[in-house]
């Protein structure tokens, strides 16, 4: 590549920038060609290629063309620092993409268990996944997942359906004004505790985190048939069983 030059069209194909953009860079004094042909066509050298890479990196960092020009005119300008900034920026983007991938995977698993989720379930699931890390530690989330993974697909479906049915029965008793010390409610509370003990592995910290979640988000997680009011009713019923 030593002493090689590129015409503006060749440089355009090499970089993906339009010829008009390269002309504009020349006009504002940002990237001037090394030389010109006898007919006036622009010729770009190796130094231009290096500088253009820096310009493109700076633009990726959302600097304006005027700011980029000032960088190059500054005697203390250090292209190494710019590359470090770009590497840091890309690292943050990769981390955010990984988090998004994890959330989408979790959402897919929720939908897979529901078979045909409706729009309300879709919205509530996104909200639940978004908020869960605020209320549950990663260790608690992993623990709940390990417990759930102990079930095969048939058992998981049965567990999910029975949990929704159980919450529905609680909701019905609450709406009828049934006392939490009623035998029917007590029987439901026992079943609810058995399910919760399995799901949490007996970790009371997870139960406390769930309580904070439903208290702070009274309209959240409707897809599971839960609400802050219902959670309180269940909690009161649990306090009446041995």
CATH code assigned at 57 = 1.10.1660.10
Pair 73, 115 in one domain: no
For 40, the domain range is 6-77
Residue where one domain finishes, among candidates 26, 45, 77:
77
Pair 65, 102 in one domain: no
H helices of the chain, in order, are 8-15, 19-27, 46-60, 65-73, 79-114, 119-135, 138-149, 153-175, 183-200, 204-216, 228-238
Q: Which of 63-72, 93-102, 223-232 has the highest mean pLDDT?
A: 63-72
The label of the residue with tokens 């702070």 reads 216
Res 214: pLDDT: 66
Pair 152, 223 in one domain: yes
- Tell me how many domains the chain contains: 2
Pair 68, 106 in one domain: no
Res 151: pLDDT: 74
Pair 195, 105 in one domain: yes
**Domain assignment of residue 92, yes or no:** no
Res 24: pLDDT: 95
pLDDT tier at 57 (50, 70, 90 boundaries)?
A: confident
Burial of 207 from C-beta contacts in 10 A (0-12 / 13-18 / 19+):
middle
What average pLDDT score do residues 2-29 get? 91
pLDDT tier at 192 (50, 70, 90 boundaries)?
A: confident
**Domain assignment of residue 82, yes or no:** no
Pair 23, 109 in one domain: no
Pair 185, 234 in one domain: yes
Res 86: pLDDT: 76
Report whether 143 contacts 207 (CB < 8 A).
no
**Domain assignment of residue 1, yes or no:** no
**Domain assignment of residue 45, yes or no:** yes
Pair 134, 222 in one domain: yes
What average pLDDT score do residues 14-19 get? 92
**Domain assignment of residue 138, yes or no:** yes
Report the distance separating Cα 209 and Cα 144, nearest Å: 12
Report the distance separating Cα 221 and Cα 160, nearest Å: 14
Pair 73, 103 in one domain: no
Kindly report, residue by residue over 182-191, the tens digit of the pLDDT: 999 999 999 8
Q: Give percent of the chain above pLDDT 70.
A: 80
Pair 24, 138 in one domain: no
Pair 126, 51 in one domain: no
**Domain assignment of residue 215, yes or no:** yes
Pair 154, 215 in one domain: yes
35-36 and 6-7 beta bridge pairing: unpaired
DSSP character string of 13-25: HHH---HHHHHHH
pLDDT tier at 109 (50, 70, 90 boundaries)?
A: low
**Domain assignment of residue 132, yes or no:** yes
CA atoms within 13 A on the CB side of 108: 6
**Domain assignment of residue 87, yes or no:** no
Mean pLDDT in the chain? 79
């Amino acid at each position: 590549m030593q002493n090689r030059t590129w015409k503006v069209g060749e440089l355009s194909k090499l970089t993906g920038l339009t010829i008009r953009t390269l002309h504009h860079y020349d006009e504002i004094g940002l990237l001037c060609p090394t030389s010109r042909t006898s007919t006036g066509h622009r010729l770009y050298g190796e130094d231009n290629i290096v500088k253009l890479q820096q310009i493109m990196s700076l633009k990726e960092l959302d600097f304006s063309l005027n700011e980029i020009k000032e960088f190059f005119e500054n005697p203390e300008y250090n292209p190494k620092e710019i590359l470090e900034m770009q590497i840091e920026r890309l690292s943050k983007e990769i981390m955010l993409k990984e988090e998004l991938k994890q959330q989408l995977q979790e959402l897919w698993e929720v939908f897979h268990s529901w078979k045909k989720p409706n729009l309300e379930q879709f919205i509530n699931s996104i909200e639940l996944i978004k908020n869960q890390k605020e209320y549950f530690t990663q260790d608690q989330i992993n623990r709940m997942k390990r417990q759930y993974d102990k079930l095969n697909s048939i058992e998981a479906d049965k567990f999910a359906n029975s949990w929704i049915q159980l919450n529905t029965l609680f909701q019905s008793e609450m709406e009828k004004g049934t006392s939490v010390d009623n035998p029917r409610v007590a029987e439901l509370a026992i079943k609810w505790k058995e399910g919760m003990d399995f799901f949490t592995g007996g970790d009371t910290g997870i139960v406390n985190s769930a309580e904070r979640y439903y208290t702070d988000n009274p309209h959240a997680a409707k897809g599971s048939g839960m609400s802050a009011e219902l959670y309180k009713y269940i909690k009161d019923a649990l306090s009446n069983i041995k």
